[in-house]
Amino acid sequence: MNAVCLVGCGAIARVHVKHLAGKAELSFCSRSRASAETLSGECGGGRVFESYDQVLKSDVDAVLISSPPEAHREQVVAALAADKGVLVEKPLCATEADLEAIGAALRDRSLLMVAENYYYKPSLKVIKWIIGQGFIGEVRRVETGKRFAQATSGWKSGYGALLEGGIHYVALGADMFGNEPIRRVAAEFPGHLAGKPERNSLVRVAYEGGAELVLRYAWNAFSPTRGTFQHSRIEGTAGGVVFENNGIYVRLKGRRKRMYFPGVRDLMGYGAMTRDFLQCLREPGKKPYSDFSRAERDLGIVFTAYKGLEG
């Protein structure tokens, strides 16, 4: 059983613990020793480290970093230098300089995985299967996103909604186009106040082949269901797909018509994501699906979109 240290012991760490418990030997490290001890106690015990430096000098196989994004660069680079496997919460980092530094720290056998659970959602698996079977022809347009009201506090209040939450939908939409080259990224931020993090975005990604990804994401929009039962759409040359944004169901339209219910047991993909990470730990050299190259692609879209805020 591999040894994994959770670095950062807040709410998202508790989500990861649910899927790691019994599958890895867990230890804990946080800015507050009290929070690390609390989570350790909730898990039935486990080593509590005084500092991140102690973690890196220990015999743990990997770190699961769920600290605020501004800490990711330093922590990821240090873990890679110490030959530890890394699972880091999304977003991988907060700036283009951070992204470049992390990329430079990677080595051939480095294990760096981003905790982008949307790649592992059962609904995306069904959608990609539909596309792969040619049921809707060539994909020409994907419209996705989520619009709801979300109050922010603590470190989350300092980041734009697109980077901190919308990155999920950037990943979801971009993954349908794979490695197709991007021609242009354009963005609007309705109601944005200068000097403040954005809370509402409209991003358009044009691909070299003529297809388009349209993303609408907001934390300041009224939604009585908090974003549930909002829908995304895929238009192809021979049909289309409509799916509930959280992945509850997928509907195929066109010459073929069918409703798919991918299942709610792992609706958000955390279980499959955790299995991928643990398999990579067991098989040195194996690369995770949610790797640096995909994070680089997704963050490239976000960072390019944000250049519009600089003017």
pLDDT average, residue stretch 202-218: 97
118: DSSP letter: G
Confidence of residue 152 (pLDDT cuts 50, 70, 90): confident
Q: How far apart are CA 155 and CA 133, in angstroms?
A: 43
What percent of the chain has pLDDT above 90? 88
> What pLDDT is attached to residue 38?
95
**pLDDT tens by residue, 40-74:** 999 988 999 999 999 999 999 999 999 999 999 99
Task: Please name the amino acid found at residue 88.
Answer: V
Task: Kindly state the tokens that stand for 282.
Answer: 């067991």
Q: Say if strands 212-218 and 250-254 run parallel, antiparallel, or are unpaired.
A: unpaired
> What pLDDT is attached to residue 155?
82
Query: Is the model's pLDDT at 284 over the cut of 60?
Result: yes
Instruction: Indicate the helix (H) or strand (E) that contains 200.
Output: strand 200-207
77 Rama sector, left if φ>0, alpha if ψ -120 to 50, beta otherwise: alpha
**pLDDT tens by residue, 156-171:** 889 999 999 999 999 9
Q: How far apart are CA 135 and CA 238, in angstroms?
A: 7
> What pLDDT is attached to residue 44?
86
> What pLDDT is attached to residue 108?
85
Residues 6+ away with beta carbon under 8 Å from 311: none
Exposed / middle / buried, residue 108 (Cβ in 10 Å: 0-12, 13-18, 19+): exposed
pLDDT average, residue stretch 76-85: 98
Query: Is the model's pLDDT at 286 over the cut of 90?
Result: yes
What percent of the chain has pLDDT above 70? 99
Long-range contacts for 248-255 (Cβ within 8 Å, ≥24 apart)?
Answer: 248/123, 249/123, 250/123, 250/126, 250/127, 250/130, 252/130, 252/135, 252/136, 253/136, 254/135, 254/136
**pLDDT tens by residue, 178-201:** 889 999 999 999 999 988 999 999
**pLDDT tens by residue, 103-139:** 999 988 899 999 999 999 999 999 999 999 999 999 9
> What pLDDT is attached to residue 141?
98
288: DSSP letter: P
> What pLDDT is attached to residue 311?
57
Query: How much is the pTM?
Result: 0.95
Closest CA to 32 of 17, 16, 51: 51
Task: Say how many C-beta atoms besides its own lie within 10 A of residue 18's C-beta.
Answer: 11
Distances (CA, A) of 206 to 228, 231, 240, 270: 27, 21, 19, 30
Closest CA to 248 of 121, 107, 73, 149: 121
286: DSSP letter: P
